[in-house]
């Protein structure tokens, strides 16, 4: 790698002092000025995506990816159905929720079988709709 290339890469990661903000006696760079709250994938996001975890964990990779492409195609045609977490699905209109669950469970018998453990959760949002399909 040439010396010029090294300099260019380093310059892209530097910020100007004027971009820093003063907080009491401390200067914070732009990235640290963003108010982010850390979250745990295992505790917060994983339960919301349990249906997808069941599919990817129990079906051959290529088949599972084809299934997710099928779901992505559905979502791209139904812009109001972009949040495919269990909570998000439960908030779809009743018709859209039933259509989404039917779309997911009717893709193959294997997927339908793999999604059955969702019915073991009595507090699952939209449980009645999942049971119907």
- 84 and 22 housed in the same domain: no
Give pLDDT tens digits for 95-122: 999 999 999 999 999 999 999 999 999 9
Which domain covers residue 24, as residue numbers? 3-33
- 68 and 123 housed in the same domain: yes
Give pLDDT tens digits for 32-86: 778 777 778 888 889 999 999 999 999 999 999 999 999 999 999 998 899 999 9
Going 56 to 42 to 86 to 74, the CA torsion angle's sign is negative
Domains in the chain: how many in total?
2
- 68 and 89 housed in the same domain: yes
- 59 and 123 housed in the same domain: yes
Q: Are 82 and 92 in contact (CB under 8 A)?
A: no
- 115 and 72 housed in the same domain: yes
- 19 and 80 housed in the same domain: no
CB atoms within 10 A of CB 101: 21
What's the pTM?
Answer: 0.70
**Residue count of the chain:** 133
What's the Cα-to-Cα distance from 22 to each of 34, 37, 67, rounded to whole Å?
14, 21, 50
- 128 and 108 housed in the same domain: yes
């Amino acid at each position: 790698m040439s010396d010029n290339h090294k300099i260019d890469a380093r310059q892209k990661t530097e910020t100007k002092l004027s971009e820093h903000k003063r907080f009491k006696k401390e200067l914070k760079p732009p990235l640290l000025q963003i108010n982010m709250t850390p979250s745990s994938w295992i505790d917060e996001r994983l339960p919301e995506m349990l249906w997808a975890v069941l599919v990817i964990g129990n079906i051959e990779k290529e088949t599972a990816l084809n299934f997710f492409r099928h779901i992505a195609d559905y979502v791209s045609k139904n812009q109001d159905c972009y949040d495919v977490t269990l909570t998000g699905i439960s908030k779809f209109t009743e018709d859209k929720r039933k259509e989404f669950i039917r779309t997911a469970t009717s893709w193959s018998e294997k997927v339908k079988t793999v999604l059955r453990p969702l019915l073991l959760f009595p507090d699952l949002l939209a449980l009645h709709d999942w049971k119907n399909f």
